[in-house]
Homo-oligomer: A and B are copies of this chain.
């Protein structure tokens, strides 16, 4: 399953297949850009001291790509960056797997860092994707309950 939205300066994807960092960096790369900042999420082996067996990600795809598109558009306008790429996995992920890649290219590095951080921070607040942490003795939907 793959849902995409793209444009000359942004590339949004939600996919149940592995994400590829090298091709993401290649996509945002451009002759006028002097710096690329990339955030790569990885599945941690533990949460608050509890061993994580796997993660399961579920997305409301139609809405998630729209929210990711807004993030990319705002990041480009707000930080004057060249290109923004946001790819997110769904399905079952093991420890070390990559749930999310955000790559931003810009003429100057400060803008790339700021826009990349804005994008991951906002994604975690607004994009309708949910993570279920599976432990050896049970599972929880992250952040669902206080």
Contacts and interface: CB of A to CB of B under 8 A. Distances in A.
A42 B35 contact: yes
A107 B44 contact: yes
Size category of the A interface is: 20 to 34
Nearest to A20: B22
B33 A44 contact: yes
Interface string A83-98: 0000000000001100
Interface stretch (A2-10, A24-32, A65-73): A24-32
Contacts of A120: 109
Contacts of A44: 31-34, 107
Contacts of A75: none
A20 to B, nearest CB: 8
Interface of A: 21-22, 25, 29, 31-46, 95-96, 105, 107, 109, 112-113, 116-117, 120
11 contacts: A31-B95, A32-B46, A33-B42, A33-B44, A35-B39, A37-B116, A38-B39, A39-B112, A39-B113, A44-B107, A109-B117
